[in-house]
């Protein structure tokens, strides 16, 4: 087994779809993984074929016996997780931590399938991880050591920012805010473009303006240490055009109560799916 640290660990990746593939690209680019065994029935993405650090396996039982992973990353779809997990129970050992990036699957469900002695980290990334700008929140069970937590943190940071919580129940609102959040932003772009059309803009120009404005504002927010509320105030002149729009959006029946209901609905659904 490799010396566990932020460089040169051995990984087994179960599932190499969009999220798994994006994370694997990040790990290889950052030099975190020295060797990776990938269990993916549909084969490797084109970008990973021929990479000497990557081994393709049809299942965990076909991984070379001498390959003992420091981390088993579970990136299969949540709806098939229960059916594939039992095959990974043979990999449970003190030196291995299981890192899940599957939505809605609780630590208890992993412990049931893998055994209570398994070190398990449950995480909730979001789709901007595909471009290295993800936001992930993670929580570990009591078996996870500080070294294993640090290793999982390094793996997750290869595709964006990471926050850790002690209370697993927080992952339901986390899912509602950041996990589902990119869809809200895309909807905002759609809504802005449609409003622009209604105000008289050609459809193509309205969409171009909406996309560029949201992307640019997001990058400004990313690069600036200034609070979002202060950035908003900085572009709002008293009695100006922006203020006229914000008077509507920030009214008692405007965006905030709508977002409150939307996030609550998503969090409730996350709880239901975890049962």
Q: Which domains does the chain have, with CATH numbers?
A: 9-167 (3.40.50.720), 180-274 (1.10.3730.10)
Q: What pTM was estimated for this model as a whole?
A: 0.88
Rounded to whole angstroms, how far apart are CA atoms 37 and 24?
11
- The separation between the first and the last C-alpha atoms of the chain, rounded to the nearest angstrom, is 36
Is 42 annotated for ligand binding? yes
CB-based contact 36:28 (threshold 8 Å): yes
How far apart CA 23 and CA 75 sit, in angstroms, is 10
Residue 75, annotated as binding a ligand: yes
Per-residue pLDDT tens, the chain, 275 aa: give them. 333 345 678 899 999 888 888 888 888 888 887 789 999 877 777 667 777 778 888 888 888 877 889 999 999 988 889 899 999 999 999 999 999 998 888 999 999 999 989 999 999 999 998 888 999 999 999 999 999 999 999 999 988 999 999 999 999 999 999 999 999 999 999 999 999 999 999 999 999 999 999 999 999 999 999 999 999 999 999 999 999 999 999 999 999 999 999 999 999 999 988 87
**76 marked among binding-site residues:** yes
CA-nearest of 92, 101, 97 to 15 is 101
**77 annotated ligand-binding residue:** yes
Instruction: Give 46's Cβ-side CA count (13 Å radius).
Output: 0
């Amino acid at each position: 087994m490799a010396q566990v640290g932020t460089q040169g660990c051995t990984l087994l990746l179960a599932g190499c779809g969009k999220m798994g593939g994006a994370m694997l690209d990040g790990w290889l680019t950052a030099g975190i993984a020295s060797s990776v065994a990938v269990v993916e029935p549909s084969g490797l993405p084109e970008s990973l074929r021929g990479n000497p650090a990557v081994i393709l396996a049809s299942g965990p039982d076909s991984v070379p016996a001498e390959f003992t992973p420091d981390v088993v990353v579970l990136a299969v779809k949540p709806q098939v997780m229960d059916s594939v997990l039992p095959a990974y129970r043979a990999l449970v050992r003190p030196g291995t931590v299981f890192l899940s990036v599957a939505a809605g699957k609780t630590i208890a469900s992993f412990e049931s399938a893998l055994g209570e002695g398994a070190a398990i980290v449950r995480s909730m990334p979001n789709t901007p991880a595909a471009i290295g700008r993800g936001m992930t929140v993670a929580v570990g069970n009591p078996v996870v050591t500080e070294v294993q937590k640090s290793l999982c943190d390094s793996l997750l940071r290869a595709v964006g920012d990471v926050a850790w919580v002690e209370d697993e129940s927080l992952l339901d609102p986390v899912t509602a805010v950041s996990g589902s959040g990119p869809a809200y932003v895309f909807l905002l772009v759609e809504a802005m473009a449609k409003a622009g059309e209604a105000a008289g803009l050609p459809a193509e120009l309205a969409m171009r303006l909406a996309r560029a404005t949201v992307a640019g504002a997001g990058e400004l927010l990313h690069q600036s240490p200034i609070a979002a509320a202060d950035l908003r105030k900085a572009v709002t002149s008293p009695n100006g055009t922006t203020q006229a729009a914000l008077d509507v959006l920030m009214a008692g029946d405007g965006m905030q109560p709508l977002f409150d209901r939307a996030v609550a609905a998503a969090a409730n659904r996350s709880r239901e799916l975890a049962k």
